[in-house]
A and B are shown apart, each in its own frame.
Chain A
Amino acid sequence: MRPPLLALLMLLLCAILAPWIIPGDPLAGSADALLAPLQSGHTLGTDDLGRDMLAMLLHGSRVSLMVGLASSACALLVGVLAGAVAGWHGGWVDALVMRIAEFFQTLPRFVLALIVIALAGPGIGKVIIVIAVLAWPQTARVVRAEIGALRQAAFVDAARLAGMPDWLIVLREVLPQIAGPVLVLAALDVATAILLEAGLGFFGLGDPNLASWGAMLNQAQQYLRAAWWMSVFPGLAIGLTVLLFNLLGDAVAQHLDPRGR
């Protein structure tokens, strides 16, 4: 679990400190258009408007990580809540919640997110909400299944005998037991969300006032012949970040699986 976690913490630190590492507006153009990497002080080259690629990449990490982490956190909250209510309550509540979850799982995430953002207009907040709304059902399913299995456990009866109210039992006794698989899903959700956000940016639906990796690839598309670096570096950044979150998820899962240890 260590290496991907450390790399991600480094990445997060870079994203937070971006305005201090490379100050100034990364989207402000200059006359040095389409410079190849390592030319006149631009480590990763410049784009068609003479903007430094490294500065844009660094500032773009803020959007990717923000969308990934925030939407995953929202999905986690909704998913755990819905799954816990469904699994604990059972009966018609369970059936209803699971039916809604199934409906959301059927929807094609990327296409729906595209269209909603196209209709509602770009904005990081909207992107986060749309991705979270489409991501919670998987978490809800896992939480529901695990809670359903634990509901009859002896320690739950013990807590009840001790006079604990139901919500406190779920919160203090049951949820910590199932934190592992839920965390695995959360890590994978971050990866999916970052890919989705990049796809939106590539379709030209990112926030025009912020540097973002997907939008950089959108721009690179017209300059493939002239400037390979405009495509290679942002894509590498997306791929690497997604890979790290996937590896983190795998590592947590392996750590939890007694057979794999």
Chain B
Amino acid sequence: MSLLSYTLRRLLHAIPLLLAVAVLNFCLIAAAPGDPVTALIGDFPAPAEYVAKMRQDYGLDQPLPVRLGRYLQHLASLDLGYSFANRMPVSTLVAARLGATLKLTGTALAVAAVLGVALGLLAARLGGWVDRLVRFGATLSYAMPEFWLGQLLILAFAIGLGWLPSQGAAPLRGAAAGWAGFVEGLRYLLLPASALALRYLALIARITRARAVEVLRADYVLAARARGASETRVLLDHVLRNAAPSVITVIGYNAGLLLAGSALTETVFGWPGIGRLLFDSIAARDTPTMLAILLMVSASVVIANLLTDVLHRLLDRRVA
């Protein structure tokens, strides 16, 4: 089966999942306590006819299946609803925050992947105390809640040493232009990205080490060494190449971990992203925003899983 038809098949598989997520989302809205109209009116003594008219205007008097259909129709046109707490459409609200979250999670992902693979390979190749240290460090890091790690980093590097800023993604007076602004941005990014990356890094280092240890025992590695291949070549061409599919799977299938971690990390560091928006929307009981974020995060996970499968297939042609 060609890669294209495999991708298409996985895509067809993802669509019902996305649909199910949307339906679940709708059920959460429908089951949520309180009627949006009552919430809008508040304590004001509105006449019953007025309430009934409002319900009719908003389509709340329709049967559930009709409302579900309309909800899906809105979603299809990327209409995520209206946030009464912020007085703007949820899609505008989310779009304004998306960049910050992508920057944070992207950096953390890159750092975790590069360092995790490097440490895993190193541990597998060198063995001995290096191996024990990496394994111990990974076990320890994986048990640490990222929001606590964030607080510790703030205590050490922002409050104790005063080297780095602890809150926000840029100075309040506005970011500087050009190169200075970029460096400034990195200073703000360093602590939250480290806090977010650590657990993910530990996971990646563990799986890389485990796979690399297996591959290093294989006959083809012995054969490559017998042919006089350099150690770098053995590690990159044989070990990494054969370990890659498992590593990619662990990275891709744990995208949810990264996104959840992002919500917590953003809250600790006052990072103006989707996670912080989720925290604020929960505090403000802003249901439309909460549910839109749930939908987006679920969709991201489905897409990440899809990409993982395709990439896995690309790297390992044995997968049917």
Contact = CB atoms under 8 A, between A and B. Distances in A.
Interface residues of A, number: 42
B17 A103 contact: yes
Given A106-B305, A203-B279, A239-B143, A217 B151 contact: yes
Contacts of A252: none
Contact of A202 (B139, B147, B290, B302): B147
B302 A106 contact: yes
A106 B139 CA distance: 25
A203 B144 contact: no
Contact of B282 (A114, A225, A235, A247): A114
B240 interface: no
Contacts of A246: 139, 142-143
A70 B305 CA distance: 30
Nearest to A247: B139
A110 B263 contact: yes
B287 interface: yes
A204 B280 CA distance: 11
A116 B290 CA distance: 10
Interface string A198-216: 1100111100000000000
Contacts of B301: 106-108
A198 B142 contact: no
Interface in B134-167: 139-140, 142-145, 147-149, 151-152, 154-155, 159, 166
A111 B300 CA distance: 12
B42 interface: no
5 contacts: A118-B282, A119-B32, A232-B155, A242-B144, A246-B142
Interface of B: 17, 20-21, 24, 28, 31-33, 139-140, 142-145, 147-149, 151-152, 154-155, 159, 166, 256, 259-260, 263-264, 267-268, 278-279, 282-283, 285, 287, 290-291, 293-294, 297-298, 301-302, 305
Given A217-B151, A235-B149, 15 more contacts: A107-B301, A108-B256, A108-B298, A109-B260, A111-B297, A114-B278, A115-B28, A199-B264, A203-B267, A228-B159, A231-B155, A232-B152, A234-B148, A235-B148, A250-B139
Interface of A: 102-103, 106-112, 114-116, 118-121, 191, 195, 198-199, 202-205, 217, 220-221, 224-225, 228, 231-232, 234-235, 238-240, 242-243, 246-247, 250
